[in-house]
Chain A
Amino acid sequence: MGEAMQLRVQCLELIAPEVYRLDVGPVEPPLAWKPGQWASLRLPVGPHPPLVRAYSLASPPDGTGIMPLIFDHVDGGLGSTYLKELGPGDEVEMGGVLGKFVLPEPLVGGILFGARFTGAVPVRCIVRALAQTENPPRVRLVQGARTRDGLLFLDEFAALDRYAPWFSYHPILLEPEEGWNGPVGEELDLLRPLSAEEAPYVPMLSGVREFTVPARAFFQEERGFDRRAVRVEHYD
Chain B
Amino acid sequence: MAGTNPYIQTAEYTPATKTYKVTFIHDGQETTVEVDPKDVPYARSGLPGSILDICEGHNIELEHTCGGVCACSTCHVIVRQGIDSTNEQTDDELDQLEEAPGLHMYSRLGCQCVPDGSRDIVIEIPNWNRNAVKEAPHG
Contact = CB atoms under 8 A, between A and B. Distances in A.
B5 A98 contact: no
Interface stretch (A15-23, A44-52, A139-147, A169-177): A44-52
A99 B74 CA distance: 11
Contacts of B130: 1-2
A171 B66 CA distance: 28
Nearest to B61: A1
A40 interface: yes
B47 interface: no
Nearest to B45: A52
B133 A74 contact: no
A158 to B, nearest CB: 26
B139 A37 contact: yes
Contacts, number: 118
A47 B63 contact: no
Contacts of A213: 7-8
Contacts of B4: 236
Contacts of B69: 54, 234-236
B99 interface: yes
A44 B138 CA distance: 25
Interface in B20-42: 42
A96 B44 contact: no
Contacts of A228: 95
Given A1-B61, A99-B71, A48 B2 contact: no
Contact of A51 (B45, B57, B74, B138): B45
B65 A56 contact: no
A3 B134 contact: yes
A210 interface: yes
Contact of B42 (A31, A48, A52, A227): A48
A154 interface: no
A100 B8 CA distance: 19
Interface in B117-139: 130-134, 136-139
A40 B133 contact: yes
A209 interface: yes
B91 interface: yes
Contact of B71 (A1, A3, A34, A54): A54
B134 A210 contact: no
A97 interface: yes
A77 B1 CA distance: 11
A96 B61 CA distance: 17
Interface of B: 1-8, 42-45, 56-57, 59, 61, 63-72, 74, 91-92, 95, 99, 130-134, 136-139
